[in-house]
Amino acid sequence: MTWAGLVRKNLLRRPVRTLLTSAGVALGVGLIVALLSISAGTERTAGDLIHFGRADFGLFQSGVADATRSLLPDALVARVARDPGVADTSRIFLYVTTVDRQPSSLVVGVARDEFAFRRMALIAGNRSGAMIGDGAASTFHARAGSTVTVGGRAVRVSGVFHTGNAFEDNAVVMPLTQVQALANRPDEVTSIGVTVKPGYRQQAVASRLEKEYGITAIVEPGQAVNVDTSSRLVIDVGWVISALALIVGGIGVTNTMAMSVFERVREIGILRAVGWSGRRIAALIVSEAVGIALVALALGLLLGWVAARLFTAKTGLSSLVSPSFTAGVFAWGLAFALGVGLIGAVYPTWRALRLSPIEALRRE
């Protein structure tokens, strides 16, 4: 019998126990995968958001539950523009509403005389009215000259644009004052895009503006949690729960493997008597624990994928964030599963190695 066949046979001696142990570990793996995929999706979205209009960085209200709920006074843009390191500014209003019966769609308000509007490359129609990104045009089956319903109001699309920024290309773009009126927020904006003059460091300018005006400047996508408190809360709580899941999963695997060793005392004694070394016995027990971890990994990856999709679709984390299942996310899931398996194998392995062949053979 091959090594893999021996491991499989031992695990299937108590299939229900093996499956329940794997399911417990899978919950932890699923949580890790869901947590990190949402975090990666948040970072990706933040990268598109802070570089809206190819800005160097974005300014937001500090401590809001969601970046789309940030509100800054419209008049702040003039004060920001006076900073010696600022080359240009652009006001941006992000409004999440229903577009053509599709909820949680993005509508963006920009001023026509500012860079965020000027840098949109027109691919059809003209710039006279509302414009739509080519991604949104595909979603809503719209084109230049057609009409879309935004928040219950019919809006004529004058042109289709493309920027290469997924955040922009999946949005309906309207004049700033119109979006402010739709949101009932006159004289306020969600964020201010900033470009920096040559010779000035982006981070230095951003830090100066943060300190002077008590706002948050996001230069790198990883800083998104500084403005999005709901994302930060989810990530912090998720890591705490993941640590608890690691402990609980390790205990579960330890219990399963310890019971397995206890039930196979005579078998282990026979293996030792026929020449199996302690190292080989230990390798068998560790291999069985890793087998449980791999079953848990498969279940956990599926669970994490489903959980992340449901979470972003059903909660208020952000209607603009979609989970990003990168290789790094799956690598962390694998590391968690194997870590639990190895932790759970420590005590059963130690116990098995302490058994002498004669003592083991004497047991009933």
CB of 59 closer than 8 Å to CB of 217: yes
Task: Give the whole-angstrom CA distance, residue 335 versus residue 29.
Answer: 9
Inter-axis angle of helices 15-50 and 278-314, to 10 degrees? 50
Task: Give the whole-angstrom CA distance, residue 43 versus residue 164.
Answer: 17
Task: Give the whole-angstrom CA distance, residue 171 versus residue 42.
Answer: 17
* pLDDT at residue 354, rounded to an integer: 74
* pLDDT at residue 361, rounded to an integer: 59
Q: Are strands 130-133 and 172-175 parallel, antiparallel or unpaired?
A: antiparallel
Residues of the chain with pLDDT under 50: 316-318
Phi, psi of 110 (to 5 degrees): -135, 155
* pLDDT at residue 3, rounded to an integer: 76
* pLDDT at residue 24, rounded to an integer: 80
Query: Which single residue is written with the structure tokens 């990530």?
Result: 235
CB of 105 closer than 8 Å to CB of 99: yes
Task: Give the whole-angstrom CA distance, residue 26 versus residue 333.
Answer: 9
Q: Residue 188's closest CA among 64, 318, 48, 43?
A: 64
Joined tokens for residue 29: 């793996």
In 86-220, which ranges are continuous DSSP H helix?
115-118, 134-140, 166-169, 176-182, 202-213
CB of 196 closer than 8 Å to CB of 62: no
CB of 316 closer than 8 Å to CB of 230: yes
pLDDT tens readout for residues 87-145: 999 999 999 888 998 887 889 999 999 999 999 999 999 998 899 999 899 989 999 99
Which residues make Cβ contacts (< 8 Å) with residue 296, sequence separation at least 6?
Answer: 21, 22, 23, 24, 25, 26, 29, 249, 337, 340, 341
Q: Are strands 147-150 and 102-110 parallel, antiparallel or unpaired?
A: unpaired
If you count them, how many residues does the chain have?
A: 364
pTM (two decimals):
0.65
pLDDT tens readout for residues 211-235: 999 998 888 766 655 555 555 666 6
Joined tokens for residue 18: 């093996």
In the chain, which ranges are continuous DSSP H helix?
3-11, 15-50, 76-81, 115-118, 134-140, 166-169, 176-182, 202-213, 229-263, 265-273, 278-314, 327-354, 357-362
* pLDDT at residue 282, rounded to an integer: 82
* pLDDT at residue 316, rounded to an integer: 47
